Amino acid sequence: MLKNKMVYICSPLKGDIDGNIKKALNWVAEAACVPGILPIAPHTYFTLFLDDTIQSERKKGLALGIGLLKKSDEVWVHGNTLSQGMISEIILASNLGIPIIPKYMDRSLYKDLMTFQQVFKESFKDEQWEEICKGLEAGFDVSKYTQPSLSVGEMRNMRLSMEWDNIDDHINGYANEASEDGWEREA
């Protein structure tokens, strides 16, 4: 049986609250279609009973969200806006060693995302940074190879290994899903 990976969907809430909740719901729905992923976006449902415009309720919602983040296996950062709340979540996830994966993010924002994880573009040669960006674009946890001491070739090999592992995971996930469906039909 496929073990679900709990994924914390990190995206903005403030500003266009209704629009941002709709975007987050779409990202949760999309992630839920990936075998083995259990997506969670706290602001999509805490806002059903907490009012983000009331400071005490906002604090409660943030605390509940942080509790969920701490139990998550990965944090997926969505979009091209890094709000103050998102930055706090990214820093916390980084400090806890939780993989941080960008989704639907322009490459120009990678530098900021990585800086909040204490990874600085200036520490890398252009070719190394390019390998980091390729991994980010593929949705990988690049923390495994964001070390200036690694050669470009070592970084590339690690990224390519992640790509192969990702392909194997998808193949196995779909195979497990198909066999479970077949078992249910027979039962």
Amino acid at the residue 84: Q
Res. 176: pLDDT tops 90: no
Q: Show the domain range for 55.
A: 1-118
Which of 43-52, 64-73, 115-124 ranks highest by mean pLDDT? 64-73
Match 């900021």 to its residue by tokens: 112
Residues 41 and 21 in one domain: yes
CA distance 15 to 83: 10
Residues 135 and 102 in one domain: no
Q: Report residue 37's pLDDT band, with 50, 70 and 90 as the boundaries.
A: very high
Res. 178: pLDDT tops 60: no
Residues 71 and 132 in one domain: no
Residues 114 and 173 in one domain: no
Non-local (6+) Cβ contacts of 73 within 8 A are 5, 6, 7, 98, 99
Res. 92: pLDDT tops 70: yes
- 8: β partners: 40, 75
The mean pLDDT of 58-64, rounded to a whole number, is 89
Mean pLDDT of the chain: 87
